[in-house]
Chains A and B, each alone.
Chain A
Amino acid sequence: MLFKVFPRNELETLYDVLAGHHLVGPQARGKDQADQEIFAFDYIHSFAELRLDFTSTVHSLKRFLLPPREILSSFNLDNSGWEKHIDLGIYKPHVFFGLHPCDINALNKLDKVLTGPVYPDPFYTGKRKNMFIVGVNCSPQPWCFCKSMGTDTVLSGFDMFLTDMGDKYFVEIQSATAYDILMKLPIAQPTEGDHRRFVELMDERNSKFTCQVDNSDLTKILDLEFQSPVWKEWGKKCMSCGTCASVCPTCYCYGVKEYVDLDLTTATKQRQLYSCNLIDFAMVSGGHNFRPDSSSRLKYRYYHKHRGFQEAYEEALCVGCGRCGQACLSGITVPDVIDSVRRQEVPK
């Protein structure tokens, strides 16, 4: 990997170079009840809107890659039959400016399922291959447990990665395009002092993580405690509303449904991102439901993320961003659930 530094006030130049494209980044969205700023990923139209100092966003950037609803194919029908049309929906490269390590790691995890060798999904792959990612280091929040998930740092899946060092930015460069773009800025080779300052900053950041999850032997524990009563307790709290999956940067489950237009000559096949917590997730035609109660659905969610994915890819389908716990009205958080399964006790 190549490293460079550039003066802090040149960030706007970098923005200007990239701003000719669709540019998505963190921006402020007002304040919540506790007077904390709320952030969201959205299209950025001026440098002032871009808030690289954001804490974390309520929603992940998933909707830019896996929209809540997406048309997979459309049909024209007439008396002689039908024609199917497929539009992958990739038109313009997008720049994502200001992704934290967890969010880039989330994309890397999604890639394993959606761009892998087994039936790669062209809708996702197309958007993913047309992304330019500028990562940025974060300051750990009280709900972040990425360190436990091994996703607090990111090694691949981005073009360049910025760390704020006060008077300058430290850049890790991962792609030739990123290097070409940085050539427009007065970049310099980092000095010995810069190296030390970078390491110091990383140490400082590391010391700020407070939230943890004990993942040791988790796949076995989840199997052992499959019938555990703690799942029932969590099930009582769960609203089966799907918010956790909606805000999750790694949830990709979906449902497919077909629609006929009013004139009966056109139709579409659409996918809707779904959540395994929704009541009819495992319902089959005829009405049988393989997971009729909220506890079995919530359990399945943990099973998929922390056991099944682990088994398939040797990593969990969770980046520890804590969004699900923050968004859950019932306060169901990953650290609490995993801890309770270990200790066989649900916190009141």
Chain B
Amino acid sequence: MAKRIDVSGLNAYYGSHKAIEDISMTVEPRSVTAFIGPSGCGKSTYLRTLNRMHEVTPGGRVDGKVLLDGDDLYGSGVDPVNVRRTIGMVFQRPNPFPTMSIYDNVAAGLRLNGSYKKSELSDVVEKSLRGANLWNEVKDRLNKPGSGLSGGQQQRLCIARAIAVEPQVLLMDEPCSALDPISTLAIEDLIGELKERFTIVIVTHNMQQAARVSDRTAFFNLSAVGQPGKLIELDDTERIFSNPSVQATEDYISGRFG
């Protein structure tokens, strides 16, 4: 289920602007890797290259290699639609389909994939909602629109929707930045449970959050505005937050930058 990601020599562009430069890293299966760094350093862009969402942006372009258990996502003949079916994504702002019920939101991915039985479907919906710690709150109103839930519930609904298709990797782009502390805690607990089953990559601006939820932390930085972002270092979270090997990382983490 969970797969390993090997990135090598990855560059991403917006038109002629290079957003990230020469990133190489390995993400182990069944682990949580956090991306931290200042705004504009390209960590979200980089995250979006991992499921080929970057190229959806007009002018978005990528070169380099992203291997998922050895298969290059950017190889010729690879359909980005299939890549996105195996690598799930949760966004900064909760984005359940507003016109769909809670049930249909969770079932949406399965229906896209086409092959399912009706009885199976409701099992998967229940399992995914339980997996996202949302089942008890919504089991009596599965046919109500997902947009009627609170922000934190909506985000967990989005996580349920993403894990319903049993992806190999789950990418999270600042999933808690629009949520209150209690909802944030709920999502962080959930991440701890989900890493038993999935490879998780999370972008966050909250360093305590990175320290709490992740096994490994990657620090990104850019030398100046307009310059491409780079990976500064990737190490065990404990080491990054106690004794990083690069001075820039320590400056950022301790609040002394520039």
Partners in one complex: no
